[in-house]
Structure 1
Amino acid sequence: MRLQDLTPPTTPAARAALDLATACHTPALLHHVVRSWLWAEAFALVEDRRGVDHELLWTAAVLHDIGLVAAYDNVTLSYEEAGGQVAVALTAGAGWAAERRQRALDVVVRHNWPSVDPGLDVEGHLLEVATGLDISGSRPEALPADFVREVLVAHPRLKLAEEFGAAVTDQAERKPTTAARRLVDGGLLDKLAHHPFER
Structure 2
Amino acid sequence: MLVTVRFDDIVLPDTPACRGALDVATRYHTPSLLNHSVRAYLWAAAYAQDNGIAFDAELLYVSSMLHDIGLAPEFDSHTVPYEEAGGHVAWAFCAGAGWSAERRTRATEVIIHHMWDEVSVDEDPEGHLLELSTGMDISGRRTEDIPALVREEVLARYPRLGIAKEFAACITEQGARKPGSLAGGFVRSGIADRIARNPLDA
TM-score by length of 1: 0.96
**Match of 2:26?**
22
**Match of 2:169?**
166
| 3-state SS, counterpart of residue 107 of structure 2 | helix
Q: Which amino acid aligns with 2:154?
A: V
Query: C-alpha separation between the residues in 1 aligned to 2:197 and 2:179?
Result: 25
Q: Give how far 1:7 is off.
A: 4.5
Q: Give how far 1:12 is off.
A: 1.7
Alpha-carbon contact 2:41-2:60 (below 8 Å) kept: yes
Q: Give how far 1:183 is off.
A: 1.4
Q: Which amino acid aligns with 1:27?
A: P
Query: C-alpha separation between the residues in 1 aligned to 2:71 and 2:57?
Result: 24
Corresponding pairs, count: 198
Q: Give how far 1:146 is off.
A: 2.1
**Match of 1:126?**
129
Q: Give how far 1:10 is off.
A: 2.0
Q: Give how far 1:143 is off.
A: 2.1
**Match of 2:86?**
83
Q: Which amino acid aligns with 2:125?
A: V
TM-score by length of 2: 0.95
**Identity within the alignment, %:** 50
Gaps of at least 5 residues in structure 1 are: none
Which residue, out of 32, 38, 47, partners 1:34? 38
Q: Give how far 1:120 is off.
A: 1.3
Gaps of at least 5 residues in structure 2 are: none
* 1:2 is the counterpart of 2:11: no
Please list, as runs of the form range in 1=range in 2, the aligned pairs for 1:1-199 lying within 5 A after superposition: 1-50=5-54, 52-199=55-202
Alpha-carbon contact 2:7-2:149 (below 8 Å) kept: no
Partner deviation per Cα, 1:25-56 (whole Å, 9 max, x = no partner): 11111000000000110111122112x11100
Q: Give how far 1:65 is off.
A: 0.3
After the TM superposition, which segments of 4 or more aligned residues of structure 1 sit over 6 Å from their partners?
A: none
